[in-house]
Amino acid sequence: MITKKQIIDTYKGYGEEITIATIGSHSALDICDGAKEEGFSTMVIARKDRASPYQKYFKTRKNRGCVDKLIIHDEYSEMKKDVPALKKENTIFVPNRSFTSYVDLDWIEKDFDIPIFGSRKLLRVEEERDFYTLLKEAKLPYPKHYKSPEEIDSLVIVKLPHAKMRKERGFFTAASYEEYKEKTAQLEKTGVIKEEDLKKAIIEKYIIGPVFNFDFFYSPLEKEIELLGVDWRFESSLDGFVRLPASQQLTLQGKQRNPIYTVVGHNLATVRESLLPKVFDMAEKFVEHTKKDHELIGPFCLQTVVDENMDFYIYDVAVRIGGGTNVHIWNGHPYGNMLHRERMSTGRRIALEINTAREQERIDEVLS
């Protein structure tokens, strides 16, 4: 692992004008918009097939746009050769999901000596789905896990990667072992899942209820947790599937019988105020536990479902900026705006923390 000293030495070699950089995917526009609001230059490293929004539609010109500089590659992994250019631009890098999905984690930990805003250590925990261990140790609620499909005694969701789109989901539900066998056979036949992936799949009790992604921010400078906003997901064919009457769903054949859970967008949400104590309690426990080993810095997201008893269950964790924060670009998050008394998106909150750390000469507390 790259040491804190190496990172701070890199930062000390920078000039006054700092550039905020990120991968051109996921939440790049939120990061760039927030950085511009706080007076930073911005840079996006994009894959050629995803570059047009940053290259053409949101590039900075006159009083428009938010992407100042752009590097384009055939594959994200090619950014390994960009380190000298990033240093030349005095870059602080903000990781998003695409960074850890498409760029080698070993390289990020051992060779990417660019200052990262956030915890470099926690990126592996998320990518290797070890957050369940964190949740268990922190005594946080998450859905029951089954050791084998033969144990299925109620509705479950089986979590594994899609056979072809490896960074997407091949999730499916089943209420019995018999249904599990039937669905796995069909999904293998239609090329949605692979048999070898089933051996490592997570079988998790399906909690019936609405989902809420809580977009938090932990400030090492203030030693405070902030709830910035809440979002929920649109998931490809699942959302169209559930809009059909049950009688129509039963007539679907082949691939259409099993909806796809690929996230394609997000929407804004709030929660009833009587539930907020539970929400903050989960965040406090999570942050307190991560302090032991992982130095949580900045944005994180607890992805939850709430049941009929008003109890929350955490089914996923993001230890960096969440994908749903884009719903708050420019207008800010409802809770973040209320707290800061001005528009406060996650992107802007990141940039504000960097500015504050520089002013207070505490930059080492927010970089890794």
| Separation of alpha carbons 15 and 18, rounded Å | 7
Average confidence (pLDDT) over 4-27:
95
What are the C-alpha distances in Å from 224 to residues 125, 144, 181, 283?
A: 22, 31, 47, 11
Q: What's the average model confidence in pLDDT over 143-167?
A: 87
pLDDT-based confidence at residue 153 (cuts at 50, 70, 90)? very high
pLDDT at 193: 84
Confidence band for 152, pLDDT divided at 50, 70 and 90: very high
Q: Which domains, ranges and CATH numbers included, belong to the chain?
A: 4-117+356-365 (3.40.50.20), 131-140+210-341 (3.30.470.20), 145-205 (3.30.1490)
Question: Which of 184, 193, 186 lies closest to 254, judged by CA?
Answer: 186
**Ranges 43-52, 106-115, 261-270, 336-345: which has the least confidence:** 261-270
Asked if pLDDT for residue 208 goes beyond 90, the answer is yes
Query: Would you state the structure tokens that stand for residue 62, as one six-digit string?
Result: 């006159």
Kindly indicate the confidence band of residue 280, based on its pLDDT and cuts at 50, 70 and 90.
Answer: very high
Cα–Cα distances in Å, from 2 out to 8, 90, 153, 179? Answer: 11, 18, 46, 47
pLDDT beyond 60 at 75:
yes
- Rounded Cα distance between 100 and 146, Å, is 28
Q: What is the pLDDT, as a whole number, of residue 238?
A: 86
pLDDT of 166: 56
Tens digits of per-residue pLDDT, 323-334?
899 998 988 999
Residue 352, helix vs strand vs coil: helix
Percent of the chain at pLDDT above 90? 73
178-193 residue pLDDT tens: 999 988 988 888 888 8
Predicted local distance difference test score (pLDDT) of residue 357: 98
Asked if the model's pLDDT at residue 247 lies above 80, the reply is: yes
Give the pTM: 0.92
Q: Which of 161, 209, 201 is nearest to 180 (CA)?
A: 201
Which position has the higher pLDDT, 128 or 33?
33
Instruction: Tell me what percent of the residues of the chain surpass a pLDDT of 70.
Output: 99
Q: Which of 16-25, 123-132, 218-227, 319-328 has the lowest mean pLDDT?
A: 123-132
Kindly provide the residue ranges of all beta strands, DSSP E only, lying in the chain, ordered along the sequence. 19-23, 41-47, 69-73, 91-93, 145-146, 156-159, 172-174, 202-205, 211-219, 224-235, 263-269, 298-306, 312-318
- Residue 231 Cα to chain centre, angstroms: 12
Using pLDDT thresholds of 50, 70 and 90, give the confidence band for residue 168.
low
Average pLDDT, the chain: 92
The confidence band for 257, taking pLDDT boundaries of 50, 70 and 90, is confident
Looking at residue 361, the DSSP 8-state letter turns out to be: T
